[in-house]
Amino acid sequence: MTNHKFLVVATSNPGKLKEMQVYLQDLGWELQLKPAELEIEETGETFIANACLKASEIAKATGEWSIADDSGLMVDALDGQPGIYSARYGSSDADRISRLLRELGSEQNRGAQFVCAIAIARPDGTIALQVEGICRGEILHSPRGTGGFGYDPIFYVPAQQQTFAEMTPDIKRLYSHRGQAFQSLLPQIDKIVK
């Protein structure tokens, strides 16, 4: 049964889960990971559409409130790719990073942005809340740092002079697309999830 501060997290990505856990546990939310056998096909054409799809399907399947994150990296010189296809760009983080660096080659325009859409669905699958966060930065020519996950080692934030993989979790939260999305979400969540 649903209690007041309980959410099923609709993700299979351990890096995302870890960050979401820190952001929500601070406020007393109890999180449960979605059952591994429930895999939702991401058929949407936007980050928000895919976040809503994942939250809604997992909420209906579990009968609980659910939260989902759909995110990715949009590279200016690649017309916004890989974007919503960021997870499907390769078969491992190392693979995805090397493909991106290969496709960018010696391109001078290294501008890029991370986008994160978060959706919360009610047990009947309807969407209660959706937010988006963005972080601008630059794609380095080679990876730097060992923290974080995914594309973090090649995403450099000039204001901090560090890649996401070189930042502490608190500093990454301050700048990151997911940190920004949660900054919009957290003040609203207690009013919505009953």
Chain residues in the site for ligand ITT (CB under 6 A): 11-13, 16, 42, 69-72, 86-87, 96, 148-152, 164, 176, 178
Is 170 known to be catalytic?
Answer: no
Query: In angstroms, rounded to a whole number, what is the distance separating the alpha carbons of residues 179 and 66?
Result: 19
Query: In angstroms, rounded to a whole number, what is the distance separating the alpha carbons of residues 66 and 60?
Result: 9
Q: CB of 191: closest distance to ligand ITT in angstroms?
A: 25
Residue pair 94/139 in contact (Cβ under 8 Å)? The answer is no
Q: CB of 50: closest distance to ligand ITT in angstroms?
A: 7
Half-sphere exposure of 11 (CA within 13 A, CB side): 23
Q: Which is nearer to ligand ITT, 19 or 122 (CB)?
A: 19
Q: CB of 184: closest distance to ligand ITT in angstroms?
A: 16
Annotated catalytic residue, options 70, 95, 170, 190:
70
Query: In angstroms, rounded to a whole number, what is the distance separating the alpha carbons of residues 111 and 146?
Result: 22
Q: Which is nearer to ligand ITT, 49 or 87 (CB)?
A: 87
Query: In angstroms, rounded to a whole number, what is the distance separating the alpha carbons of residues 150 and 126?
Result: 30
For residues 34, 118, 84, 48, the Cα torsion angle rounded to the nearest 10 degrees is 120
**Per-residue tokens: 168:** 């502490």
The CB-nearest residue to ligand ITT is: 150
Q: Which is nearer to ligand ITT, 123 or 147 (CB)?
A: 147
Q: CB of 99: closest distance to ligand ITT in angstroms?
A: 11
Query: In angstroms, rounded to a whole number, what is the distance separating the alpha carbons of residues 135 and 98?
Result: 21
Q: Which is nearer to ligand ITT, 29 or 151 (CB)?
A: 151
**Per-residue tokens: 6:** 């309980």
Catalytic residues: 70
